[in-house]
Structure 1
C-alpha cells in the first residue's frame, strides 16, 4: 500500500488551505504546478494567487523536498523528514530600485521568523520592472508543523493585503 511522504501530506494541507480561501473569494488562485525533477530527484509544489481581481501583486508559495530529505524518509533513516517552504511576492513597478515600504512591511509582518530577499529583473522595452520579494525561513518544516500551515497561509494573505504598491 502507498504510504504518503511528508511532502505529500504537507502539500495536501497547503493546497487545501489556499483553495479554501479561493472558494471564499478572499484570494484568487491563478496558477499551480506540481513538479518532479528527475535530474535532481526532488519534488516542488508551487501555487500562485493574488487578491481577487487585482494582479498588481502575485504571491507564490513554493513547497520543496530535495533528494536528501526524500531518501531519508523512504529509507527510514534517523532524521525527521521535512520540506522547505518559500514565499515570494511578485510586483511590477516603474522604479528599478527596491520599494523600501514593501521591504519594511515584510520585515514587520515576518519579524525574525525569516529572511527577506529582494531581486529585480529589468525587462527591456518595458516601463515596468519585475521585483521579487522572497521570504525564506532558513529551516525545514516537518509534519509536526502541519497545524501551522493554515495560519501561515492566512498570514501570507494578511501580508498581501497590507503591502503598499506604487502605480
Structure 2
C-alpha cells in the first residue's frame, strides 16, 4: 500500500488549516501551488493570502507560506535509508509589503523586525529584501514605491511530530499579517 510522504501529510494539514481561516473570514487565499521540480527533484507547496477584503488592493500585505522537501528527504523516506540526518520538510514564511516613502528605511526595517520579534519571540531568522520597480525610460531615483519581502526562516526541518504546531504557526502568521498591514497602512498615510 502507498504510504504518503511526510511532506504530503504536513501539506494536507497546513493547507486545510489555512483554508479554515479563510472560511472563518479572517483571510482571503489569493494563490496556491503544489510543485514537483523535475530539474532538482524537490517538492514545494506554496499558499498565499491577505487579510479579508484586502486581496484586490495594491496596498495589501501578502503572506506566503512555503513548504519544501528535497530529493534526499524523499529518497530516505521511500528507501527507509538514513540518507539525511533528519527526514522532514522546511517551512518559510514570506510577507510582501509596500513601502511608499523611501525616507528612513533603516528605521522602518527595525520597526518591522520589532513587530515580528514581539509576535514570534525572536524564534525565526528574519531577513528583509527591498525591491524597486524601475521602468524603461522612467528612471526615478530614489524610487517612490518599494516592496519589502520579509522572510521568516526557522532553519530546521519539521515532520509529523510538528503537525499540532501548524495551527499555532498559522495563528502567528495571521497575527503578523494583521500587524504588518497596520504598519503599512500607517506608512502609506
Q: Which runs of 4+ in 1 moved over 3 A?
A: none
1:1-167 correspondence to structure 2 within 5 Å: 1-55=1-55, 56-78=60-82, 79-96=85-102, 97=105, 99=108, 100-125=110-135, 127-163=144-180, 164-165=183-184, 166-167=187-188
- For 1:104 and 1:43, how far apart are their aligned partners in 2? 32
Query: Structure 1 residues 146-155 or 77-86, which shifts more?
Result: 77-86
Alignment RMSD? 1.4
- For 1:17 and 1:120, how far apart are their aligned partners in 2? 30
Query: Structure 1 residues 93-102 or 65-74, which shifts more?
Result: 93-102
Report which of the two structures shows the higher radius of gyration computed on alpha carbons: 2
Q: 1:103: Cα distance to partner?
A: 1.7
Stretches of structure 2 lacking an aligned partner (at least 5 in a row): 136-142
TM-score for the superposition, normalised by structure 2? 0.83
Residues matched between the structures, number: 167
TM-score for the superposition, normalised by structure 1? 0.94
* SS state at 2:89 partner: strand
Residues 30-77 of structure 1 show CA distances to partners (whole Å, capped at 9, x for unaligned) of 000111000110000000001011242000000000111111111112
Q: 1:95: Cα distance to partner?
A: 3.4
Stretches of structure 1 lacking an aligned partner (at least 5 in a row): none
Q: 1:93: Cα distance to partner?
A: 1.2
- For 2:74 and 2:123, how far apart are their aligned partners in 1? 25
Q: 1:107: Cα distance to partner?
A: 1.8
Contact residue 43 and residue 68 of structure 2 kept, 8 A: yes
- For 1:59 and 1:128, how far apart are their aligned partners in 2? 19
Contact residue 33 and residue 47 of structure 1 kept, 8 A: yes
Q: 1:80: Cα distance to partner?
A: 3.9
Question: Which structure has the highest strand share of the two?
Answer: 1
